[in-house]
């Protein structure tokens, strides 16, 4: 495949390397200094664009891919309130987009088991539940997109929780959470690629369910596999469409 990379930071660089190892061609790399290349003929030649930039730039990059009719895989997080609008634009323009809050295969297995676990724990109201996420200090959004997906899976399965709230450790505003609120606790620690933990605790015991990313390689590989899966498809997809866990 001919790949255009949008965003050439930590993830973009990993993806470039792995894409070449898998036999793909990176035909264009776009970052802040060459934004106008999004309107170039070269960009239109790409079979797919892979976007890992910033929450502030992702929407304009998606619009540019739609305008050029280049299918786009989006890894950038922190824009999910816009999903309904982006979905409508994607479908009305006969375009193609796949997004994931986390492209690692292990995390997508985790998402599935997390949902099953929440349905099971619905029977045991003596357990309080909490989500914890740890990321590197340069991360711009909190909570992480992955933690939000985990929280939504829990809220779907547990009748006793109806919304999530976020607390960044060290920035607590003194607010007391309601029983129906699911706390996502965010920790920012240098160099951590991403750790997510779901903790169910009762007076007598605790169940801890945890995913630890050892590096960014798992995200990069998942994004390339998603781009390969997207070939020949039209429409708006999330990574869960790629897996069949039933
Ligand atoms: N979905 C996943 O699996 C996953 C995994 C890791 C990171 N992420 C997310 O991906 C995003 C990027 O992560 P990163 O670690 O590579 O960040 P990074 O800060 O290392 O890189 C971001 C890059 O985007 C560039 N950029 C800024 N504005 C741009 C624009 N308008 N057009 C093109 N490029 C632009 C920056 O110059 C920088 O090079 C973040 O939102 C992060 O949360 C998602």
- Tell me the pLDDT tens digit for each residue of 196-236: 999 999 999 999 999 999 989 999 999 999 999 999 999 99
Atom number in ligand 1 closest to CA 219: 3
Q: How far is the CA of 57 from the centre of ligand 1 (A)?
A: 9
Return the structure tokens found at 49: 């664009």
Supply the mean pLDDT for the chain.
96
Catalytic sites, residue numbers: 135, 139
Q: Say if residue 175's pLDDT is above 90.
A: no
Kind plus residue range of the DSSP H or E element containing 67: helix 58-68
Q: Whose CA is nearest to atom 15 of ligand 1?
A: 10
- Alpha carbon distance 171, 158 (integer Å): 28
Closest CA to 169 of 198, 189, 191, 146: 189
Which of 52, 101, 226, 237 is the pocket-test mutation for ligand 1 (most atoms within 8 Å of CB)? 52
- Per residue in 113-163, pLDDT tens? 999 999 999 999 999 999 999 999 998 889 999 999 999 999 999 999 999
Q: What does the DSSP assignment read for 147-165? A: HHHHHHHHHHH-TT--EEE
Between strands 235-238 and 96-99, the pairing is parallel
* Average pLDDT score over residue span 91-101: 96
Return the structure tokens found at 190: 């240098």
Kind plus residue range of the DSSP H or E element containing 112: helix 105-121
- Per residue in 177-191, pLDDT tens? 899 999 999 999 999
Which domains does the chain possess? 2-102+217-242 (3.40.50.720), 105-212 (3.30.360.10)
**In contact, 239 and 108? CB cutoff 8 Å:** yes
Beta strand ranges found along the chain (DSSP E): 2-6, 25-30, 48-51, 72-74, 96-99, 128-135, 163-168, 181-188, 195-201, 206-212, 235-238
Return the structure tokens found at 144: 């992480």
pLDDT at 244: 81
Closest CA to 70 of 102, 40, 31: 40
pLDDT at 18: 96
Q: What are phi and psi of 220, to 5 degrees?
A: -65, -45
* Average pLDDT score over residue span 69-97: 96
Atom number in ligand 1 closest to CA 35: 32
Burial of 236 (0-12, 13-18, 19+ CB in 10 A): middle
pLDDT at 99: 97
Q: Helix 105-121 and helix 145-157: axis angle, to 10°?
A: 30
Q: How far is the CA of 21 from the centre of ligand 1 (A)?
A: 21
Q: How far is the CA of 157 from the centre of ligand 1 (A)?
A: 32
What are the angstrom distances between the C-alpha of 139 and each of 6, 55, 145, 157?
18, 11, 11, 29
Task: Kindly indicate the confidence band of residue 172, based on its pLDDT and cuts at 50, 70 and 90.
Answer: confident
Q: What does the DSSP assignment read for 68-102? A: HT--EEE---S-GGGHHHHHHHHHHTT-EEEE-S-
pLDDT at 201: 98
Percentage of the chain modeled with pLDDT above 90: 92
Q: Under DSSP, is residue 201 helix (H, G, I), strand (E, B) or coil?
A: strand
* Average pLDDT score over residue span 164-185: 92
Q: What are phi and psi of 178, to 5 degrees?
A: -80, 155
Q: How far is the CA of 32 from the centre of ligand 1 (A)?
A: 11
Residue linked to tokens 């998942």: 222
- Alpha carbon distance 141, 55 (integer Å): 8
pLDDT at 111: 96
Does the global pTM surpass 0.85?
yes
Q: Whose CA is nearest to atom 3 of ligand 1?
A: 102
Which residues sit with their C-beta closer than 6 Å to ligand 1?
A: 6-12, 30-32, 35, 52-55, 57, 61, 75-78, 100-103, 139, 219
Atom number in ligand 1 closest to CA 223: 3
Task: Kindly indicate the confidence band of residue 67, based on its pLDDT and cuts at 50, 70 and 90.
Answer: very high
């Amino acid at each position: 495949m001919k790949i255009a990379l949008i965003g050439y930071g930590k993830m973009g660089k990993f993806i470039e390397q792995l894409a070449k190892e898998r036999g793909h061609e990176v035909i264009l790399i776009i970052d802040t200094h060459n934004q106008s290349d999004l309107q170039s003929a070269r960009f239109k030649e790409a079979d797919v664009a892979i976007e890992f930039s910033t929450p502030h730039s992702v929407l304009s990059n998606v619009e540019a891919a739609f305008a050029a009719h280049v299918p786009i895989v989006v890894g950038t997080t922190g824009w999910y309130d816009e999903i309904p609008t982006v979905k409508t634009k994607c479908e009305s323009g006969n375009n193609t987009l796949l997004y994931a809050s986390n492209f690692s295969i292990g995390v997508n297995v985790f998402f599935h088991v997390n949902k099953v676990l929440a349905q099971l724990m619905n029977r045991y109201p003596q357990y309080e539940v909490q989500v914890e996420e740890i990321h590197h200090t340069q991360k711009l959004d909190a909570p992480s997109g992955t933690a939000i997906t985990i929280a939504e899976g829990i809220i779907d399965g547990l009748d006793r929780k109806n919304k999530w709230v976020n607390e960044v450790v060290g920035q607590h505003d003194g607010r007391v959470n309601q029983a129906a609120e699911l706390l996502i606790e965010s920790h920012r620690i240098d160099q951590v690629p991403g750790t997510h933990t779901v903790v169910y605790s009762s007076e007598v015991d605790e169940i801890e369910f945890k995913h630890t990313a050892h590096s960014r390689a798992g995200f990069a590989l998942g994004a390339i596999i998603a781009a390969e899966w997207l070939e020949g498809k039209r429409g708006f997809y999330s990574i869960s469409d790629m897996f069949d866990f039933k």
